[in-house]
Amino acid sequence: MGSLAGRHRRNMRILFASVVVVVLAMAAVLVVAVTAHNASAGRGELTIAPEPAPITAAPQVTPVPDDAPMPTAQGIAAAVGPAAANPDLGKFSGTVADAVTGQVLWSVNPQTPMTPASTTKVLTAGSALLALPSDRRVTTKVVQGATPGEIVLVAGGDPTLTAKPVGENGYYPGAAHISQLVDQVRNAGIQVTSIVVDTSIYSGDTMAQGWFPTDVGAGFITPTEPIMIDGGRADPLVDESP
């Protein structure tokens, strides 16, 4: 009997301790939940930061004067050579040639194929910042066509128009929605029977020489047009979409 009573008391102590552990665990969860709620409530409603002021480009590269001396191979090698030879900057191959005569003035591993950096994009963006106001926007507009019911979509150079519904971003955040243009046409009361797209703002080839047709179909390249839907992507949310 004494042994049974002792086991009974031990079992009761174990049960009591287990209940205490469960109660403490529940209290800890409650404290964490209340703390998280209070922290969330303390933050209040989220606010959107004001739009930053436009950035003014401060060019540091000045045009070469007409009476400047002609570049020499030695001068270019002294200016560019150390950077090209620096192993911390990666591998480099390239050629510098006189734009007038075509004479090669300097080169490093000119026959070594390399994956190029987007230097052309950097130069284009820099030129745009220097030539255009920082708040410049391109406009895509619709005008009346030559026949009743015909409208002309006049391309202005915007490749970021999206087919996604208003309120959803395509590949380019903040891009204009083609549906907004459609709504404006409808609100004007125009009965549309045909649509013509005017891309005359751009001239020349739409594809660069040397682009492989297989790369175009695979989604790496799209023809250069002054109006595109989601940059020419079939899937507006995929970078390399065909």
The helix (H) or strand (E) run that includes residue 12 is: helix 2-43
Is position 6 within any domain? yes
Is position 49 within any domain? no
Q: What is the pLDDT of residue 221?
A: 82
Is position 133 within any domain? no
Each residue of 47-69: pLDDT tens digit? 677 877 877 777 777 777 888 88
**154 and 105 assigned to the same domain:** no
**Burial degree of 162 (CB within 10 A; 0-12, 13-18, 19+):** buried
The helix (H) or strand (E) run that includes residue 215 is: helix 213-218
**126: amino acid identity, one letter:** G
Domain limits for position 4: 1-36
> Residue 43 — pLDDT band, cuts 50, 70, 90?
very low
Is position 51 within any domain? no
**162 and 217 assigned to the same domain:** yes
Q: How far is CA 46 from CA 41, 140, 167, in A?
A: 11, 34, 18
Q: Which of 111, 133, 164 is the last residue before a domain boundary?
A: 111
Each residue of 157-216: pLDDT tens digit? 999 999 999 989 899 988 999 999 999 999 999 899 999 999 999 999 888 877 877 877
Q: What is the pLDDT of residue 31?
A: 39
Each residue of 175-192: pLDDT tens digit? 999 999 999 999 999 899
Which among 138, 142, 140, 139 has a CA at the least distance from the CA of 188?
Answer: 142
